[in-house]
Amino acid sequence: MDLTISKTNDCWFDNAIENFYSLLLTFDYNQKLNICLNEFDLKISGNENDFIEILDNLFEHHKNYVCIKKEENGEIKEFLKDFILIQKRRKGLFINLNPILFKNSKEEVPKIVHLLNEKGSKHCVICDNSFKKKYDKLTQAVYPFTTKIKSLNGVRSYKNGMYYSFKDYENNICPLCFLIGILGWVTEKLIYWTDLNRKKGYLFLPKSRNLLELYEFKEDCFNVSLLNNQRLSNINIYLNGENKFTEGKFSTLLCFYSRFILECDYVPNIDWDILEIPLGSIKNIRVFNFDVNYLILNIIKDFIDKDEDVYILFKSILFFNNDCVDWGLTKQIVENLAESFLNNDFRSFSRNFLPKNGSKILFSSKNINFLEYFDLLIYLWRLRPMSIKKEDLKTIKSVANIVAKISVHNSNLFYKLDKIKTIDGFWSCLREISKKLLNPDLDKSKIKESSLCDLIILLKTNEGNWKEIRDLLIIYSAVYFSINSRRELNGD
């Protein structure tokens, strides 16, 4: 028996090929097969009966692939991992993997293996190799993007310049791709996060230029202590004495990178396809392509080197409404900050700090060094690439404090600053700030009026970066605005 499985450049099948290699290594206890993973293919050779035995053990071992939870009364309960399309709940709350290969591997594995080496006139819509007879139809269990809806069809196969119809390609899946695709769900090396409120699951598929690099990265992922016995997510963080799950797909990815770089001590050159999987009966799966900026990854590493964590920094940000924490808004803002940071979108990042529906930003008292490390983030992300000195940040913060003092009883100026579209508009806004400083009723304690002149000089020497300076002013104005508002409320 000799099999060669080539890289497909498809996010699902490349990960499934890597996973197939990992599974065979694990279950080939006596090393009966020759298994070789190269940059662009996987080669398997050996005795067919040995291959059948190994696959039978593999399927039998994964017959039940569930989350196990022990209740306080000692009762053991099984939970679905909601995003796994081949997982089904059975009688008595027991959960099994649904395909017949898992139910009756003794009979089914020999059937599919005997078909692998039979060549014929049919061509597989996934790998384009020839085969004689299919094992079963192509379904979402094998390739999750399969759907009857043409606009969502993920099978990129053509016939006379047109896409195959659903009937054309559902019968043209070779036995080998069927086998590899089905086993793609049986892995403990992929990140997942589930949103029960919106009834969506997210599966993070890493992308790489070659299979070896993909394998090495996913092995390191496995060693990062992914919590695969959890139903909702295998990424969480220990904070303030308890384990907490992340707020969304981007905060999950940010939390993962912080943990990965801490434990593996390198910055991975990996991009992602994120699968959004509805938890209902209709599974029209969406894919988000996400490429992480290398600057952002190095900032995460710089924080790790200083024994800090960007994700924990974001979690220290709280939004108060009527003197109470608005946890719903706070969680959404943490997710928004993670998204804009990972996307290297400083404009969107800055706008998250604006007061919203009466809510104002504050920082958790449990992170006493918040402002110090927040300043570090700003320096690494914006000031250093702009070649602006750390001392200039003090100027921006001083003017931000002026804006905040002016805006305590009238926030119009604050929102004007956010709506600036041109540098002329910025100059106009600075003139308005200067005029409002003449107000005799303005509390000028802890205000450095000369900083406004310093900002004008900074802006003139960095006109090409005026948008970034505007966004920095928005962020720190929001910070000081909230602090001053709270002091007014508390009479401090």
12 contact partners, CB below 8 Å, separation of at least 6:
143, 144, 145, 181, 184, 205
The predicted model scores a pTM of 0.85
3-class DSSP state for residue 328?
helix
Q: CA angle, 253 as apex, 335 and 83 as ends, to 5°? A: 95
On the question of pLDDT at 83 being above 70, the answer is: yes
Amino acid 38: pLDDT: 92
| pLDDT tens track for 246-286 | 889 999 999 999 989 988 888 888 899 999 988 877 678 88
Residue 404: pLDDT band by 50, 70, 90 thresholds? confident
Amino acid 158: pLDDT: 47
On the question of pLDDT at 341 being above 80, the answer is: yes
What percent of the chain has pLDDT above 90?
A: 27
| pLDDT tens track for 152-178 | 544 444 455 555 555 566 778 899 999
Long-range contacts of 146-153 (CB under 8 A, 24+ apart): 146/170, 147/283, 147/284, 147/285, 149/284, 152/284, 152/285, 152/286
Number of separate helices (H) and strands (E) present in the chain:
19, 20
AA letter at 89:
R
| pLDDT tens track for 423-453 | 998 898 888 888 877 776 676 667 777 888 8
Nearest-angstrom CA–CA distance, 332 and 336: 6
Amino acid 156: pLDDT: 45
276 contact partners, CB below 8 Å, separation of at least 6:
200, 201, 202, 285, 286, 287, 288
**Residue scoring higher pLDDT (87 or 8):** 8
3-class DSSP state for residue 287?
strand
Per the DSSP assignment, residues forming a β-bridge with 205 are: 273
Amino acid 62: pLDDT: 85
Nearest-angstrom CA–CA distance, 48 and 68: 35
| pLDDT tens track for 125-142 | 888 888 888 888 888 888
Q: How far apart are the first and last CA of the chain?
A: 80
Amino acid 226: pLDDT: 79
Please give the structure tokens belonging to residue 491: 């009479």
On the question of pLDDT at 333 being above 80, the answer is: yes
57 contact partners, CB below 8 Å, separation of at least 6:
27
Q: Choose the weakest-confidence range: 149-153, 336-340, 371-375.
A: 149-153
Residues 364, 318 contacting (CB under 8 angstroms) = yes
Amino acid 119: pLDDT: 82
